[in-house]
Amino acid sequence: MQAHDGMYIDGEWRRAAGQGRIEVVNPADERPIGSVPAGNAEDVDTAVRAARAAFRGWAETPPAERAARIGALTARLGARREEIARTVTAELGAPLTFSGKVHTGMPTSVAASYARLLETYEFTEKVGNSVVHHEPVGVVGAITPWNYPLHQIVAKVVPALAAGCTVVLKPAEDTPLVAQLFAEAVHEVGFPAGVFNLVTGLGPVAGQALAEHEGVDLVSFTGSTAVGKLIAAAAARSVKRVALELGGKSANVILPDADLGRAVNVGIANVMANSGQTCSAWTRMLVDADRYEEAVELARAAAAKYVPGDPAHPDTRLGPLVSAGQRERVRGYIAGGVAQGARLVAGGPEAPEGRERGYFVRPTVFADVTPQMTIAQEEIFGPVVSIMRYENEEHALEIANGTVYGLAGAVWSQDEAAAVAFARRMETGQVDINGGRFNPLAPFGGYKQSGVGRELGSHGLAEFLQTKSLQF
């Protein structure tokens, strides 16, 4: 596994200011696979200064030329897809098949969508006697998480570049190797020096320095709500803009007339994907009282299909969690659910059989979960499903909306109009109707404490633009 000894700043790999290193560990066997520099405030300052110096030239580059660069980057990422997939599996623990289809395929698709969008996007509009110009915000500080390491990089960096902004990226310390592959791809296709910069480091050091830096005009952060609040507070001191994609506790609402078997099976698959480390996962399954026990048995059978295993094996469907800390956090929530009286249908806090080494967790299903329980209110970020009973649709809506989060959700019904009507009353940013497919052009983001702003498509591009009106 290749690792660079420096940071990618101003178009070249440079030695870090400090001597510290961050060790990258394979979560399947707990063995080191590489290391990256632990950047500090000096590294961040150097990167921000490079981005600031490059900003005006990139902002004035015609959109068609920016589109061509992004198109070339997309092609380069596609050419290296197998290497990217192997890297994600090694540092995150996602099953290799999933890494190829989702961790590599999805971000490549998103990058391509921005190259196409620039062909038609209108950066000026006429409003009465005014001309409104949509201009790049400036220097963007992008702080990305470990759960979808390449996708989250692409979802921030590519629209920022498309808008004409320059970027300093601080990736998660658990999964920095794929960020280095992205930086290599940027370099290979010839983006001007300083337009994209990479600083690896710890969140409380490099991440905080980036959020507080007065040379940064916008901070785009994806991660926990708790850290998002700290980022927003740090950004507020210099009144810089923020885009925050935070936690979720999404409801999977199965209305009484739904195809119960399909809704339960897809719902379990949704949570088990990426070992449950998905902010938009439908971790609360809401079922009407009359069919509740049938749904519980279906969920038990569905969860049994997800056997923790070696993520490098092509048949593995459930890999480890990303780190020892994450494993202990999830096991703690499972133990807490049992202690609070939830009925354990599948899984549990013990290590999976034969998987004592590695950060593995049993796929877990709880029944008889009440809205007040911790497992029904807090984001677990693991392969844990809570099945909740409702008496009628108003009760289901009350439960669905009864958390501080509002990121995603699902509704199932044979009557599509009824499903849509229910979805419109959910306090959440994105709802899948009867298993609707992910759309990389649709805006993604949350209500309430799930965040501020939107990613993907034209809405994602608009996050990195500001408006200027000229009156005539």
Query: For the chain, what's the residue count?
Result: 472
Helix (H) or strand (E) holding 143: strand 139-143
Q: Which residues pair with 287 in a beta bridge?
A: 254, 389
Instruction: Tell me how far the alpha carbon of residue 377 is from its chain's centroid.
Output: 20
Which one of the listed residues 165, 279, 455, 463 is annotated catalytic? 279
- 166-170 and 139-143 as β-strands: parallel, antiparallel, unpaired? parallel
- Residue 430, C-beta contacts closer than 8 angstroms, at least 6 positions apart: 280, 407, 408, 409, 442, 443, 444, 445
Q: Which residues pair with 467 in a beta bridge?
A: 134
- Is residue 23 annotated as a catalytic residue, yes or no? no
Which one of the listed residues 173, 184, 245, 379 is annotated catalytic? 245
Q: Which residues pair with 221 in a beta bridge?
A: 143, 244
412: helix, strand or coil: strand
- The answer to whether 139 and 286 have CB atoms below 8 angstroms apart is no
Give the closest residue to 111 by CA, choosing from 452, 430, 441: 441
- Is residue 463 annotated as a catalytic residue, yes or no? no
Helix (H) or strand (E) holding 411: strand 409-412
As a whole number of angstroms, the distance between CA 415 and CA 404 comes to: 29
- The answer to whether 465 and 165 have CB atoms below 8 angstroms apart is no
As a whole number of angstroms, the distance between CA 183 and CA 8 comes to: 7
Q: Which residues pair with 36 in a beta bridge?
A: 22
**Both structure tokens of 202:** 């710890």
- The answer to whether 165 and 138 have CB atoms below 8 angstroms apart is yes
Residues with catalytic function:
245, 279
